[in-house]
Amino acid sequence: MRAFGELEAEIMRVVWQRDRPVTIHALTDALNGSRTLAYTTVMTVTERLRDKGWLTREKHGRSYQYSAARSSDDYSAELMGQVLDAAADRAGALLRFAGRLDPREAAALREALAAPPADTPPQSGG
C-alpha cells in the first residue's frame, strides 16, 4: 500500500470526520476552503480511493454517496507496518518508537499488548 497523496488524504479526512455518507458535491465544498478544486478532480480522486478499497459508494437518486470502507486507524497501522517492514532492526525501531510515546499512549500500548487480539478466537485449555 502506498501512502495517500495530498488530495487523497484530504478527502479521506473529510469522509472520516463525517458520521454519514458524503456526496462528491459535499466533498468539493468541504475541500474548497483555501483553494479551488474542480468537481471532476474530486470525483476522479474519490473514485480512485474507491478502487483502492478505502471508500464504498451507494447510489442515492442521481448521485452517489461515499463512506469509508476502512478506518483512519487501519490506515495508520498499515503505514506503521510498512515502516517496520523496511527497518533493518524491527525490534530496535519498535523500541525507539515506544520511547517517544507519552505516558498515556504507553499505557494504552501495554494494555493492547496484554489483551488477546480481537479477531482471534480464545484458545481452549484442554
- What is the pLDDT confidence band of residue 26, given thresholds at 50, 70 and 90? very high
Q: Where are the domains of the chain?
A: 6-68, 72-114
Does residue 109 sit in helix, strand or coil? helix
- The fold of the 6-68 domain, in CATH, is Arc Repressor Mutant, subunit A (1.10.10)
pTM score, two decimals? 0.79
* pLDDT for residue 126: 44
Per residue in 42-99, pLDDT (tens digit) is: 999 999 999 999 999 999 999 999 999 999 999 999 999 999 999 999 999 999 988 9
Does residue 22 sit in helix, strand or coil? strand
In angstroms, how far apart are the furthest CA atoms of the chain?
A: 64
Residue 119 confidence (pLDDT) above 80: no
